[in-house]
Amino acid sequence: MSPRRFSLGGGARVLAALLVLSIPATAAAAHVKGRFEGFRLLQNPVWAEAKDPKNHGYSFREPVPTVRAEFRRPFPYIPKELCLVALAQSPQKPPKPITVSVGGGRTTPVTIVVPPGTLLSFKNTDAFKHRLYGVGQKTFLAGDTNKGATRDWSAPAEPGTYEIRDELAPSLRMWIVSEPNAAAHTFPSMKGEFTVEVPEAGEYTLQAYFSGKKVGAPLPVTIKNEAQDLDASRTPIKVNDKAPPPEDKAADKPDDKAEPKEADKPKEGDK
C-alpha cells in the first residue's frame, strides 16, 4: 500500500491554511486531529476465535434479535485496540515509561507502537494474579504478577511486533510494535475520532495499528511549527473497507425470507 500524502492543493490549500490559522495555539506541542472509518469491520482476533464453535468457547451463544446485525460482530473496542502513531522521519528517543494495565481480560492498551527501549510497566489491576510472557521472547518469560503488582519490560531494540500473552487468561493478548520512528501515539474515541500530539515540527506519517499490524493507509502530515494544530478529520483513515462478513448478512435475513419449504413451492399447473 503506497502512502497517500495528505497534501492540500488549490482552494483546499487555502482552506486548510485558514483552518490551521483558525485553531488557536494553546500548547507547546502541535496537535493533529483525525478520525477513523471502517473500524466496525475490524475483528478482534480473540473474540473472533472465541465465537468459533470449534474452540469450545461456550455451550450456547445466541443473538438477541432486537440488536441490529451490524452490531453483532466482534468489532474491537477501538479506544484500547486501535493505535494511531505519528511516525517521524528519523528515529526517536524512548519516551517516559508507559503503564499498561492488565485487567478485565485484556491489557490497556491492546496495541501500542513505541520506539525501541521504551519501558513498559505492566500493572495488574485484577484481584488475582497474571502470568504474562512474551511469545518467543527470551527476555520476557512467564512470570507471576500478583494483584496490584507491576512488571517492567522494555520494547526490544529490534523493530518489529511483539506479542504478550497470559498463561492464566487466554483472552489476554497484547501487541507491542517496536518502531524506531514512532514519535507519538494515541487512541481514538469510540466514534473513531483521535488527536495526536507531536513534540516538534516536521513531516510525519500517521499510521494506524490494530492487533500489531498496520491497518489503513498511512497519512503524511507536515507540522510547520510546534504550535500548529492540524485537523485531518475531513480525510478519514479507512482502517477497513472490506465488506462485512457473510454471517452478519445471514443473521439479518428475516424469517419470512427463508427458503420456502418443499410443500410451499409452487407446483406445475398452479396459477
Residues near another protein (CB under 8 A): 44, 46-47, 50-51, 55-64, 66-68, 71-75, 77, 79, 101, 103-107, 125-128, 168-172, 189-190
Toward another protein, which CB reaches closer, 106 or 185?
A: 106
Phi-psi region of 192 (alpha: psi -120 to 50; beta: other; left: phi over 0): left
- Cα–Cα distances (Å) from 81 to 43, 65, 225, in that order, read 10, 27, 30
Toward another protein, which CB reaches closer, 19 or 48?
A: 48
DSSP for residue 27: S
Toward another protein, which CB reaches closer, 31 or 130?
A: 130
Toward another protein, which CB reaches closer, 4 or 51?
A: 51
Q: Which residues pair with 208 in a beta bridge?
A: 84, 215
Burial class (CB in 10 A: 0-12, 13-18, 19+), 191: exposed
Toward another protein, which CB reaches closer, 98 or 168?
A: 168
Closest CA to 122 of 107, 95, 100: 100
Closest CA to 209 of 123, 121, 114: 114
- Count the residues in the chain: 271
Phi, psi values for residue 260, rounded to 5°: -65, 145
C-alpha cell at 248: 452478519
Using alpha carbons only, give the angle 212, 213, 216 rounded to the nearest 5 degrees. Answer: 135
Output the smallest distance, CB 110 to another protein, in A: 8
Toward another protein, which CB reaches closer, 146 or 225?
A: 146
Q: How far apart are CA 34 and CA 234, in angstroms?
A: 7
Output the smallest distance, CB 66 to another protein, in A: 5
Q: What sign has the CA pseudo-torsion 198, 223, 221, 32?
A: positive
Toward another protein, which CB reaches closer, 65 or 91?
A: 65
